[in-house]
A and B are shown apart, each in its own frame.
Chain A
Amino acid sequence: MPGTLTLRIVTPERVVLEQPVEQVTAHAVDGELSILPDHEPLVTPLAIDMLHYKTNKEDEFAAVMGGILEVRNNEVTVLSDVAELDTEIDTARAHLAKERAEAEKTQKTDKMDVYVTEMAVSRAIARLKAVEYRQRKRKHV
């Protein structure tokens, strides 16, 4: 029986999640990485994307808007400005936000503005992705 990891997602506003998990898959700035129990200590920045973790053989998802991932002593800590669990995400709002941001992006010429709207798009996509993956997994069960 392999050990378990403690996954902790902390934002300035609240502790989003703190529970034992079997596996964490995250998107770091330079690619996807999976963390299993007894992983070596690691610190890396995260991209704006979804986070995938397994508890009791169940797949769970969360949307993480950037941040830092730290692995130490079988504890995985994610420090992020904003993070939401798949069950908390407002799909309609994320869809709207995505459409709005994409529409805005076509109107912007300034580099900075384009960057800002691109960030908004990727935040919306991360949320939608987390929800979509969850629904797909639920169908298979």
Chain B
Amino acid sequence: MANLKAIRHRIKSVQSTQKITKAMKMVAAAKVRRAQARTLAARPFTKRVISLLKEIVHEVADVDLNEIALLKKRPINTVGLIVISSDRGLCGSYNSVVLRTALERIKNLQAQGKEVKLILVGLKAAGFFRSIKCEKLKNYTLLPAIPTVQEAKLIADQAAEFYINGQVDSVELISTEFINMLRSQVVNTKFLPVELPHSEDDNSLKPQTLFEPSINELLELELVPKYIENVIFQALLDASASELAARMNAMSSASTNANDLIQSLTLTYNRARQASITQELLEVVAGAEALKN
């Protein structure tokens, strides 16, 4: 009898868990669609910035490019890693994949004799790297769920500052790229110094472009900051879309698992119930038989 009660209890608890996972799945499904739309809406801007950068680089001598702090390459001793994770869990392997990749990269760089410093985005990364011996330059946690340009600017400016004042000699970005609802991929992008898109050197006659005030000022004050900001913004958007997609998938499979569990538990429960009824019947019949004699 105690067994029956225990099973009933189990079924109830699995059912309530399923209710939660189902709700989370639906919320994530609704959000992921919007996040995907945002990610796609941001692409034209990124495309234009890159094509503009390409056209401008074409017109500037390499010597001039070296004068811009964010483009200048120097020997790499310390590497800054920006790791983008989520603030919340329950999203399958999303965070663990990002964090594992980051850890591998750190070990790899340390094996090469380079110092690694971290800039972490998201509570999960902050928690994971707390116990790991590595200098943390900055933590960004509990950013708004919908990434905006302002946050991207915040992170990009901070990273640029670390780069300019020499705390790091290069910056890499480890984040998740959103491919589709079922697939996303962890990517490692070189962030600073800015790798300029190389334009093919054709000597064809082109109308000379007018730059106001001057091409260097334009690059240094407007275009390069805009570019790095946009790289981060795009990464944040991709990360949020991937996180939501991962959560949706994780919750969907959790709901299915809960369903299976409920079914098998119900079967066991019914069997146990039937067994106990049979047992009781047998006892009654046996008692009656005994009285007859």
Alpha-carbon distance A111/B152, docked complex (angstroms): 24
CB neighbours (8 Å) of B42 from chain A are 12-13
Given contacts A13-B38, A13-B149, A79-B226, contact A44 B211 (CB under 8 A): yes
Q: Is A54 an interface residue when CB atoms closer than 8 A count as contact?
A: no
Q: Is the CB–CB distance between B230 and A41 below 8 Å? A: no
**A25 located at the interface, meaning its Cβ lies under 8 Å from any Cβ of chain B in the complex:** no
User: Within the complex, what minimum Cβ distance (angstroms) separates B49 from chain A?
Assistant: 6
- For residue B233, CB closer than 8 A to chain A, the reply is yes
Decide if the interface of chain A is mainly helix, strand, loop or mixed: strand
Whether A72 is near chain B, meaning CB under 8 Å from some CB there, is: yes
Interface size class of B (residues with CB under 8 A): 20 to 34
How far is it, in angstroms, between the C-alpha of A96 and the C-alpha of B99 when the chains are bound?
A: 44
B288 within 8 A of A: no
Residues of B close to A77: CB separation below 8 A: 48, 52
Query: Contact: A79 with B41, CB < 8 Å?
Result: no
Query: Known: A12-B45, A14-B41, A79-B48. Is A43-B210 also a contact (CB below 8 A)?
Result: yes
Which residues of the other chain, B, contact A14 by a CB distance below 8 angstroms? 41
Contact B210 A42 (CB under 8 A): yes
Query: A38 to nearest B CB, angstroms?
Result: 11
Query: A29 CA to B212 CA in the complex, in Å?
Result: 9
Q: Summarize B's interface: helix, strand, loop or mixed.
A: helix
Indicate if the CB atoms of A40 and B52 lie closer than 8 Å. no
Q: Does A68 contact B (CB under 8 A)?
A: yes
CB <8 Å contact, A15 and B213: no
Q: Which of B38, B45, B55, B152 has the most CB of A within 10 A?
A: B45
Cross-chain contact B209 with A10 (CB below 8 angstroms): no
Chain B: CB-nearest residue to A39:
B210
- The interface bits of chain A over 84-100 (1 if a CB of B lies within 8 angstroms of the residue's CB, else 0) are 00000000000000000
Q: Is the CB of B210 within 8 A of A10?
A: no
Contact with B along A1-37 (1 / 0, CB 8 A): 0000000101111110000000000001110000000
Contact between B222 and A72, CB atoms less than 8 A apart: no
* Contacts A13-B149, A44-B218, A45-B222 given; does A72 touch B209 at CB 8 Å: yes
Beta-carbon contact of B52 and A42 below 8 Å? no
Residue of A whose beta carbon sits closest to that of B47: A10
Contacts of B218 in A (CB 8 A): 43-45, 68
Q: Known interface pairs A43-B52, A68-B52, A68-B222. Does A11 touch B45 (Cβ–Cβ under 8 Å)?
A: yes
Q: Which 8 A-B pairs have the closest CB atoms?
A: A41-B209, A44-B212, A42-B210, A45-B222, A12-B45, A14-B41, A10-B45, A12-B42
Given A10-B48, A40-B208, 17 other A-B residues pairs in contact with their CB atoms under 8 A? A8-B48, A12-B46, A12-B230, A13-B42, A14-B41, A15-B44, A29-B213, A41-B208, A42-B210, A42-B211, A42-B212, A43-B56, A43-B209, A44-B218, A68-B52, A77-B52, A79-B49
30 contacts between A and B (CB under 8 A): A10-B45, A10-B48, A11-B45, A12-B46, A12-B149, A12-B230, A12-B233, A13-B38, A13-B42, A13-B149, A15-B41, A28-B212, A30-B212, A40-B208, A41-B207, A42-B210, A42-B212, A43-B52, A43-B209, A43-B210, A43-B218, A44-B213, A44-B218, A68-B52, A68-B226, A72-B209, A79-B48, A79-B226, A81-B149, A82-B149
A interface residue numbers (CB < 8 A to B):
8, 10-15, 28-30, 40-45, 67-68, 70, 72, 77, 79, 81-82
